[in-house]
Structure formats: structure tokens, C-alpha cells
Amino acid sequence: MELVYLNFQYFFDTYPPIIKSNTFWAILLVSVSAIVIAFLIKFLIFWKPIKQFKKIDKYSKTLFLKFYQIFITFGLINLLLLFFRKAQVPYFQTRFLMIVWWIFVFVWICNVLQYHLTKVPAKRIEDAKRREYEKYIK
């Protein structure tokens, strides 16, 4: 049986080999797609909302705004890391940075969804109770 071990040199190599064409285009496509999705969210929800999106409550708008921020940040920093990798800038082109960045974005998305799924329903109920209370006061 062959012993499999983790090669840290692969992840932390200061001068990794030049990025392959298919990988470059795939990462570029993911980055540009994230930026396009971010601008679609911003355009459809906030700038020119269509009829279906005009009825969105403030909590859903906050969720969409957070996803806009995530996608635009992910796309721009991913493009920056891809540029460093293609230009072979030492220390900024390590594979480790890209992996850490993708993990960070995944955790960021999980935290936003966790907040929206656990805290927001309670806030909506609280807002409904407050509106019901204010209805009788006025």
C-alpha cells in the first residue's frame, strides 16, 4: 500500500508553475460571472426594481445587499489573485491564498444564510407585533 501524504510545498510554493489555460479561463469565468451576478442583483433589486421585486421587505433587501457585497468582493479579489498568478508575482501567486480566499467566501455565505434563516424570522414576528400594536394606538 502506497503512503499518501500532504505536500505543503505544493500549496506554499513561491513560484508555482504557470497556470494552465483551462484553469485560467475557468477561474476567469467564475470571477466575471460573480461580478455580473452582483450587478444583476443591484440592478434588479435596488436601481430598477421590476414588479415582482417591489414587494420585497427590508430583511430580504438586506439579504440581497449582502449577497451583492459578497459576489462583487469575491469577483474582484479573485480577479486580482488570478492576475498575480498569471503575472507570476512572488508570494501573491501561491495556491494557498486562493484556497483560503474561497474558504473565506464560503464561510461568509454560510454566516449570511444562517443569520437570515435564524434571526430574521424572529425580527419579522416582532415587526408584525409592533405594527399590530401601533394600529390600535393611532
Range 4-13 average pLDDT: 75
Per-residue pLDDT reduced to its tens digit, 70-84: 999 999 999 999 898
Cα–Cα nearest to 82, from 67, 102, 68: 102
H helix and E strand count, the chain: 5, 0
Q: Give the separation between CA 93 and CA 75, rounded to whole angstroms.
A: 16
Q: Is the pTM of this model over 0.75?
A: yes
pLDDT value at 94 more than 90: no
Range 103-108 average pLDDT: 95
Per-residue pLDDT reduced to its tens digit, 37-64: 999 988 888 777 666 667 778 888 889 8
Domain ranges of the chain: 19-137
Range 11-25 average pLDDT: 80
Q: Give the separation between CA 31 and CA 36, rounded to whole angstroms.
A: 9
